[in-house]
Structure 1
């Protein structure tokens, strides 16, 4: 996404855990797009206080943040009741509580600016409760989808000019699932990120990506019997 936004001419404030990757990304982006500004900070989103610190520092550095994308997450969860609570707890904390902290930090900045665009990356697994190793992951992704919708509702109620977009990606092959078996309707990272960026740029309130087949699958998931959805 950073590469695609850079191609569109955006200045970028990027945060993640691995500094060497961030530095190399900055070098690559500035070589390809020398007219943009790229800044990065190391951030582990499990450190909630650091989220507020880093977001505020970026806001001060740039003077204004037009858009914040809440994207950090982990994909590791286990079947409920099999003695893997610690794994499931970490998944729930990173995918929901950390996302909540990022939304809090982002909305604080946007309220002060009276402008901004919050983007929350959920998942197609948020559409229904799912079995096995998807249960906690899907529940956390459903949680942040409802969180984003609640923030959107609050913006409508208070008439603040802040946009909120929820993205529901289908199966995209990245490092998070590189060792998994082939998945239904799977796309590679380039295809998936292009679809995500296009949906974000459109300003849509919600989008399943890639739109085909996931917009259709999403509707089916909401209405089909649970036994069928689980398969």
Structure 2
């Protein structure tokens, strides 16, 4: 079989090497897991988060295990647009160009709307909506300005497919924004014939500190979730739900089945 084509005879997608990867929200959870996985694969990393101490510890561990790579870290509040610009630009200079931006920073806190805890919902909205927008603005500018191919990855959520209940109401709404923003940028870059590839990744339930209260039988363990997440991003799809089983089946069901039926899947 022609190695340039798949088993169905379709031309295989050429994926450039993404040597230098920037990850926000990298101090814990899925961000940290992705950093460890890509470090083991020999990628240079630029890691940002609010908790600089966690990042410094992670950097030391990554370099001890993978001495041939470069790791840069920086404290970053993604709701500060100027800080995002400064940190992303500094990372871009330090690594000689970022090839893949993984916009992973986000909050999962929240409360039922009207319960008197509007501050928690406001913080979630600010980080997940404005923070993602600030990151996307700078990432696109840097990639366009360098005139090189690049990969822009939005970490959304399967929760973006349906309005959620209680503490997850605001979170799901913010992730719907992330999904819509990513799809719009993908369409624009495609229309331009740009070399910037845009991916929307929709994690389902994965066992992290953010999901400790979730008892869904569909929740994947952390290692499986991270492996699925990295594998999906490396394929550079326009969109992917992870882990693929069961979420590639559940995802369309959430969008098209009547609400009382789809609700039972969450």
TM bucket by the smaller chain? over 0.9
Find out whether 1:123 has 2:157 as its counterpart. Answer: yes
Per the alignment, residue 235 of structure 2 pairs with 202
* Residue of structure 2 in register with 1:187 after alignment: 220
**Are residue 14 (structure 1) and residue 60 (structure 2) matched?**
no
Question: Aligned pair count?
Answer: 230
Comparing 159-168 and 86-95, the one that deviates more: 86-95
Kindly report which structure 2 residues correspond to 1:68-217, keeping only aligned pairs within 5 A, or say none.
Answer: 68-114=101-147, 115-178=149-212, 180-217=213-250
Q: CA deviation at 1:227?
A: 2.0
**Which structure carries more helix by proportion?**
1
SS at match of 1:218: helix
Aligned pairs (5 A) from 1:15-94: 15-94=48-127
Distance in 1 (alpha carbons) for counterparts of 2:257 and 2:71: 45
1:164 aligned counterpart, secondary structure: strand
Take 1:44 and 1:204, find their aligned partners in 2: how far apart are those partners?
28
Structure 2: distance between partners of 1:15 and 1:221: 33
Quote the Cα distance in structure 2 between the aligned partners of 1:174 and 1:212.
18
Question: TM-score, normalized by length of structure 1?
Answer: 0.96
* TM-score (norm: length of structure 2): 0.83
Q: 1:167-188 CA distances to partner (integer Å, 9 max, x unpaired)?
A: 000011112223x142231112
SS at match of 2:194: coil
